[in-house]
Amino acid sequence: MSLETHQNEVPRYIKVNAEDNVAIIVNSGGLKAGAEFPCGLKLVDDVPQGHKLALTDIEQNEQIIRYGEVIGHASVSILKGSWVKESYVILPTPPELDTLPIATKHVDPLPPLEGYTFEGYRNPDGSAGIKNILGISTSVQCVVGVLNFAVEQIKERILPKYPNVDDVVAINHAYGCGVAIQAPDAQIPIRTLQSLALHPNLGGEVLVVGLGCEKLRPERLVPDGQENHILSLQEQQGFGEMVQKIMDMAEERLKRLNKRVRVTCSASDLVIGLQCGGSDAFTGVTANPAVGYAADLFVRAGATVLFSEVTEVRDAVHLLTPRAVNNQVGQALISEMEWYDNYLKKGESDRSANPSPGNKKGGLVNVVEKSLGSIVKSGSSLISGVLSPGERAIQKGLLFASTPASDFVCGTLQLASGMHLQVFTTGRGTPYGLAMAPVIKVSTRTDLKEQWSDLIDINAGSIATGEATIEQVGWELFHFILDVASGRKQTWAEAWKLNNDLSLFNPAPIT
């Protein structure tokens, strides 16, 4: 889109809720002071795209409202038509956890969606995978260099003989030794590694490479504890034998994986992760509502949908606890919020550490506004369960999988929960990807899709310009997910082999 086209655009803003006294600028490149909207409102200041303008005069200390919720209080008097800058918004107090309504929202269930399928790989435990990958786990970071060398050799010399296998992935991490292995919070990284070894895209094949003297014993990462799934490097005669043993053990498993073929599986077999990254002010009005619509469709189809990111839920948790299916689920959600409050407090940090500079450049003034936009991707279904960090999902429906907001840590923990693929919304843009699962990128703005046409899979920016509805983009995403799960389509991250490192969440001490 040319600069001339930008300048000739009719000034537009988006107001989400009738109670809102601010709105965000839609126009590419923002708008200059004096721009007049069709309703007659004139801008007092230059306002960048995605940033807020005051729809009314807002007095000092008066509430600033977006999404029908208070996102802060005015630090100064703000004139109608002015740019509502970050410095003008005082962060409000978070919802009190001990007074939240629980399981008070009654939702009439929508009819189930039946007949939707994908072509996947049936696993020995009855689950289904959407990829056919050999995963090789590590029990300690010390072995990573050797394993990475071996994996390169496997991909070059062995994998071509087994065309039905998609990839060989080293499940590397920075844990395993020099850690307080018995500390209560050590259960989080250990549980995460145990769950990653059982990921449905790995076909039930387990191989763990250990050193031999680490605190995290490799047998703890093997479901049945059998030593024939473990290779200890300290027992080998030098580097050459280490590499050869890894290659030999890998080939045994590649032979079995190569015999697998895709079969028709119900959409109810899917576990779909939802995440935001590089969010902006459009996230909560374009991409996340469309993702939420698709999430509701998959819940209706009997699938499992994970939403996460505690710090981007905490300030909107009062809108989620009423959606808990029962009191037990609601209390579990509150417990995860409380645990994270204490975690931040111990680190002498607080929720103001979120959002990032990029989020603010995209129009988000604080974590409250970010949270209100973030939770929209959970749709409208009742929340049927809560997972602690790294815990595997064993039930259907909409689940809150507790994770930090960090893209890499959240992605790792959602993989541990059994996520087949991830839907990732972004307004600022990120090339993030995962080796073990496809990542579908959904842009909040058409500008980003045009800028990154070979990185963005679905454009939700068309919702802001009125070219598409939330429902239309939601259905587009729904069908795209089934196509990616079936191997009929690739995400851009898959096509370019963009894979970020796994990043364990370890709140326990390092010794």
- How far apart CA 80 and CA 160 sit, in angstroms, is 65
The residues, ordered by sequence, that sit 6+ positions from 492 with a Cβ below 8 Å of its Cβ are 441, 454, 455, 456, 457, 498
The residues, ordered by sequence, that sit 6+ positions from 294 with a Cβ below 8 Å of its Cβ are 379, 423, 474, 475, 477, 478, 481
- How far apart CA 310 and CA 93 sit, in angstroms, is 16
Yes or no: say if 387 and 401 are a contact pair by the CB < 8 Å rule. Answer: yes
DSSP helix/strand/coil, 334: helix
Ordered by start, the domain boundaries in the chain are 1-93, 131-257, 270-495
Domain 131-257 classification at class level:
alpha beta
**CATH architecture under which domain 1-93 falls:** Roll (2.30)
Token pair of 407 as six digits: 């893209």
Q: pLDDT tens, position by position, for the chain (511 residues)?
A: 333 334 468 999 999 999 999 999 999 999 999 999 999 999 999 999 999 999 999 999 999 999 999 999 999 999 999 999 999 999 999 999 999 999 999 888 889 999 999 999 999 999 999 999 999 999 999 999 999 999 999 999 999 999 999 999 999 999 999 999 999 999 999 999 999 999 999 999 999 999 999 999 999 999 877 788 999 999 999 999 999 999 999 999 999 999 999 999 999 999 999 999 999 999 999 999 999 999 999 999 999 999 999 999 999 999 999 999 999 999 999 999 999 999 999 998 888 888 999 999 999 999 999 999 999 999 999 999 999 999 999 999 999 999 999 999 999 999 999 999 999 999 999 999 999 999 999 999 999 999 999 999 999 999 999 999 999 999 999 999 999 999 999 999 999 999 999 999 999 999 9
